Structure 1
């Protein structure tokens, strides 16, 4: 019985950790890391800075999704963010990645 409890506890821990790990993998696969890091500005803003800027904004996922899809300039400086289509990151993966970033 204790073994079953241990297995269930470990499985729940892995399941709880999976969204963050999955989102980090999504970000790496989509090559967002070429311009962004979690804690420091690179070419684009750090994910923590993005999270702070959009904290409490109810439409943050939609706003950031549009910025990723269409690209833009001016929000974080003059270096443009190129548009990123569904061939680079699916809508579901984009949503998961943005939700992960906003929780930082």
Structure 2
């Protein structure tokens, strides 16, 4: 076990380490999906007919959830961008067939779906 005397470490170093640990924690958990969220996301994709065009691991009409997760991996704006894509729809990103808009889907529900997709669409 490492014991450190914090009185001998400059405050700026402690602040920097705390900030780095805080950012690292946010980065690791930003796309983490817990079991209850995965269950909710799966329910939402079924209710909103997402599975008619998407599957977890194979292209159907639209890309697989794993392909989406791979394309947007390490992109900080992915959550916002994909929530907007779900709500507004559009075409051209994955081919000519347009994705229908889902304007009635709440922002929270869209975020739940996107977080689940970006986490690799875990079963639970």
Structure 1: where are the runs of 5+ without partners?
1-15
Q: Paired residue for 1:41?
A: 59
Corresponding residue to 2:102 among 81, 84, 88: 84
TM-score normalized by structure 2? 0.67
Cα RMSD (Å) of the superposition? 1.0
* 1:93 equivalent in alignment to 2:109: yes
SS in 1 for 2:58: coil
Question: Residue by residue, what CA displacement relative to the aligned partner does 1:13-51 show, whole Å, maximum 9, x if unpaired?
Answer: xxx522111111111111111111110111111000000
The count of residues paired between Structure 1 and Structure 2 equals 87
Instruction: Select the structure of larger CA radius of gyration.
Output: 2
Unaligned 5+ segments in structure 2 are 1-33
Detail structure 1 runs of 4+ shifted over 3 Å in the superposition. none
Which has the higher mean CA deviation after the structures are superposed, 48-57 or 64-73? 64-73
- Trace 1:1-104 onto structure 2 (pairs within 5 A): 16-86=34-104, 89-104=105-120
